[in-house]
């Protein structure tokens, strides 16, 4: 049986790492601050994967972002998925050459699906992660692209099926409404959509403690839980969360 995963997300913007709430960004610190407070060589033993997203508004600088990814790779010995600002196959290649194991696409999956095809043909499906940002409007979850601004003209169910048809290797299911709140995942919609695709389904948006992470993994069809909440997981937060999840029979890898 494949193990589930505990993933930590880092939100990057214009040279700094950010705390995000409903996609509104607040600066926390640069990569030096991150290394000082997180000590990734130690904390990576509590994680299965690291996600790094460039959420810079407007024009993104893929070269500078790739340098940040390269620096993170020096201290992290777990898979890294990186995305944000990938607009052509050369951008994906740059991130792979900087140490990323996977690349993440969001808006281009809708705007330029041929890019997904190029990534899959060159690097394989396992190298491509689709990020789906959605918010609930009039009780209906609507996919949004372009930094959460533009709604797409497909239902969420149709969009997930569309992504699978592109050959993506896994899907990050991210609630804009829950993002950064620390109040827990959007369990209602996760339960509704987690089994609608056959690829691994990662949930993100809202986790603020170990109980939220456990609740996400308990849902049938969920392959991984992710959190990007910087403040709740400084110090021993992630090791404690993993221990708690294992004590409650989570299907996570044990390294003791």
Residue where the block lists tokens 């996919």: 143
- What tokens does 235 get? 């110090």
Distances (CA, A) of 215 to 17, 219, 227, 237, 248: 27, 7, 13, 17, 11
Q: Alpha-carbon distance 200 to 198, whole Å?
A: 7
List residues with catalytic annotation: 133
Q: Positive or negative, the Cα torsion across 147, 18, 129, 238?
A: negative
The residues, any chain, with a CB within 8 Å of residue 2's CB and separated by 6 or more, are 223
The Cα 74–Cα 62 span in angstroms is 19
The answer to whether 209 touches 180, Cβ cutoff 8 Å, is no
CA distance 83 to 65: 9
- 3-class secondary structure, 255: coil
Strands 24-29 and 16-21: antiparallel
- Nearest-angstrom CA–CA distance, 11 and 51: 9
CA-based max dimension of the chain: 48
The helix (H) or strand (E) run that includes residue 156 is: helix 156-166
Interatomic CA distance for residues 136 and 15, integer angstroms = 31
């Amino acid at each position: 049986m494949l193990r589930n995963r505990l993933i930590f997300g880092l939100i990057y913007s214009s040279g700094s790492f950010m705390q995000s709430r409903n996609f509104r960004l607040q600066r926390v610190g640069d990569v030096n601050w991150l290394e000082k407070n997180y000590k990734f060589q130690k904390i990576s033993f509590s994680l299965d994967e690291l996600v790094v997203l460039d959420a810079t508004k407007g024009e993104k600088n893929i070269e500078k972002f790739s340098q940040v990814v390269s620096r993170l790779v020096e201290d992290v010995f777990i898979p890294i998925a990186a995305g944000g600002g990938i607009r052509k196959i050369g951008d994906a290649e740059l991130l792979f050459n900087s140490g990323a194991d996977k690349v993440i696409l969001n808006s281009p999956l809708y705007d330029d699906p041929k890019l997904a095809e190029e990534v899959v043909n060159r690097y394989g499906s396992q190298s491509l992660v689709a990020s789906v940002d959605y918010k609930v409007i009039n009780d209906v979850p609507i996919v949004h692209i372009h930094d959460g601004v533009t709604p797409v003209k497909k239902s969420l169910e149709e969009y997930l099926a569309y992504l699978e048809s592109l050959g993506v290797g896994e899907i990050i299911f991210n609630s804009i409404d829950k993002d950064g709140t620390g109040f827990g995942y959007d369990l209602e919609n996760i339960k509704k959509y987690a089994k609608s695709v056959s690829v691994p389904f990662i949930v993100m948006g809202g986790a603020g403690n170990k109980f939220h992470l456990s609740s996400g993994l308990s849902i049938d069809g969920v392959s991984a839980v992710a959190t990007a909440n910087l403040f709740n997981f400084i110090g021993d937060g992630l090791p404690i969360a993993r221990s708690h999840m294992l004590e409650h029979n989570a299907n996570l890898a044990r390294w003791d």
